[in-house]
Structure 1
């Protein structure tokens, strides 16, 4: 099983890239955002999700391990295959995806290629009910919360969620309130401001 490739970009196509590692060229399928960051001749490290089928082995490459983990996790939802999962991650990088799940934002999912209204509703509902992606490679032990929920976007949000939980608000409601409150600020807000805004969201 290939977990990552560290080599040189030999070629970049519309849906794939050729990565040379030790004289061997690996064809890697990636989303548009990942491919746009690659430059022919430049060094690159991609985290790899390997799909083994009877007739083929397919490598899917991502610039970050968190994105790779979400790619695998999205495919646990019925109706979501590799192509749709790549489309979702192109439309929503992990930090946006975490908020969309917390808010059960069907419209955000519907903006992804290959996601219709019914699938968008299923994604919003079922991902909110699931634990977050597991099996992060090369991340610190504290990068994912012990309950398996999606990693917080930043320290202030994690602190705000923790504060609300300590006040007796359940984890899911706290995450939704903090995600909604964060949208009120143009930039990352400090934890005290997030907590005050999130409490207003809960009281509505």
Structure 2
């Protein structure tokens, strides 16, 4: 299986790109959010999810591995295929998806194109008590992809930094005696209100206050 590709963007399409890797052009499916950050001839690193079926071999690419992890996680829900997973990721940032999952907030998932009320409810219900994905842990330095699509030379932190901080807060609350479901809901509410950049200590303190209310 292919887990990562490093190469040059040879062509861009409506829902795919061709990545030139040492003269071999890989056709990679991608979401609108990813494609909007790319330009022809740009050197990039793509985190790859490979789908192998009897009649197809498809590659899906992501600039951030936590997006790839959520792409897989969402498809564990019946009725959610690659198209619906991309629609959700294109509409909702992964930090919001994690909050919505913990809180059982179906309205967040219903914002995605093609995700109706029934499917949104199923997604929110089935994800509510599941731990969010953290992605793969890379031991090599990967290029940083700036918001303007350019690539910097500094190494990027392991994928899923926001998810790791969330898990640290949940773990702290569980160690204090709260059950995991309660802890996840409290942390999700605080992160939704205070933002994903809130210091870990503040998240834990405010979550404890939320749980005591």
Same fold (TM over 0.5): yes
CA contact (8 A) 2:30 2:62 kept: yes
Give the gaps of 5 or more residues in structure 2.
141-157
TM-score calculated relative to the size of structure 1 = 0.84
Report the equivalent of 1:174.
183
Q: Which runs of 5+ in 1 are unaligned?
A: 145-149
> Is residue 28 of structure 1 aligned with residue 28 of structure 2?
yes
Higher relative contact order (CA closer than 8 Å, sequence separation 6+): 2
Residues 98-113 of structure 1: pairs in structure 2 closer than 5 A: 98-113=98-113
Aligned-partner Cα distance in 2 for 1:124–1:132: 12
Distance in 2, Cα, partners of 1:70 & 1:186: 19
Change (3 A) 1:28 1:186: closer
2:206 aligned with 1:197: yes
Alpha-carbon contact 1:65-1:137 (below 8 Å) kept: no
Q: What is the TM-score with the length of structure 2 in the denominator?
A: 0.81
Contact 2:103 2:185 in 1 (8 A): yes
Q: Which residue of structure 2 lines up, in the alignment, with residue 86 of structure 1? A: 86
- 4+ residue runs over 4 A deviation: none
Deviations 1:116-172 (A, max 9, x none): 1111111111112334437725369xx79xxxxx975363x4443333223311112
Q: Output the CA distance in 1 between the equivalents of 2:188 and 2:67.
A: 19
Are 1:5 and 1:21, in contact at CA under 8 Å, matched by a contact in 2?
Answer: yes
2:56 is the alignment partner of 1:56: yes
Distance across 1 between alignment mates of 2:189 and 2:24: 47
